[in-house]
A and B are shown apart, each in its own frame.
Chain A
Amino acid sequence: DAGITQSPRHKVTETGTPVTLRCHQTENHRYMYWYRQDPGHGLRLIHYSYGVKDTDKGEVSDGYSVSRSKTEDFLLTLESATSSQTSVYFCAISGVQKREGPNINTGELFFGEGSRLTVL
C-alpha cells in the first residue's frame, strides 16, 4: 500500500470555524491532490500540487485553500466552514512511472483512507 496518511479521519465542527486537514505521504511523489466525495457527484478535485509551493485550483476550489511547504505534506484549509462543505475528503498522490523509454506521469492515483468532515 502507498504510504498516505490523512488526519483527522473524522471531525465534527460548527459553521464558521476554521478546519485544516492534513495529508502526509512517504512515497516522495511529486503530485498531490485533494478531492471531495459526495453522493451523485463522484470525486471532485478541489486543489492539487505539482511540487513544493506549487499549487493550483481544481473544479470546486471556492472556500478552500492549500499549502505545501515540503514534499510529504499537503494541507487543505477551510477558512470558515459551511454546511455545504460536509463531505468525505480524499487525498491522493501520483508520481512518475518508470519504464523503458521516457518516464511519464500516467496519473495513476493512490488514495488515502479519507477524512469525514461534518459541519453543523
Chain B
Amino acid sequence: AQSVTQLDSQVPVFEEAPVELRCNYSSSVSVYLFWYVQYPNQGLQLLLKYLSGSTLVESINGFEAEFNKSQTSFHLRKPSVHISDTAEYFCAVKRAGGFKTIFGAGTRLFVKA
C-alpha cells in the first residue's frame, strides 16, 4: 500500500522569500505523484504532477517539484512566493495502474507581507 508524509503542517514565510514544502512517499511499485492546492472555502485543484520522464515538473504559476526516487521524495518549491500563494497544499500518490489516490495530511502555507 502507498502512503504519503508531509513533514510540515504549517509553513509561514515572508512575501518574495523562497519556500519548500516537503513530501515523502512510500511504495514498492511505480507511482504517479501529485501536488494539489486548496484555497480557502474551495475544493482542491491540481497544481502539478509527475507521471514519468523528466524528474522536474513545473506549474504555470512558478511552483516546481522534483521526483527523487532514491529518497522517495517529491518536494514542492517556489523561489519567490506571493501573498496569493497562501493556501493549503496536499501531496498525493497513486499506484500506476491503480484506482486510488492517497493524500498526505496537508501543509498550510501562510505568506506574510
Contacts and interface: CB of A to CB of B under 8 A. Distances in A.
Interface of A: 31, 33, 35, 40-45, 48, 50, 56, 58-59, 90, 92, 94, 104, 106-114
A10 B101 CA distance: 25
5 contacts: A42-B6, A42-B103, A42-B105, A44-B103, A111-B43
Contact of A42 (B42, B49, B104): B104
Interface residues of B, number: 24
B100 to A, nearest CB: 6
Interface of B: 6, 9, 32, 34, 36, 42-46, 49, 51, 90, 92, 94, 98-106
A113 B9 contact: no
A2 B101 CA distance: 18
Contacts of A35: 103
A107 B42 contact: no
- Give the 5 A-B residue pairs with the shortest CB-CB distance, closest first: A111-B43, A107-B94, A42-B105, A43-B103, A42-B103
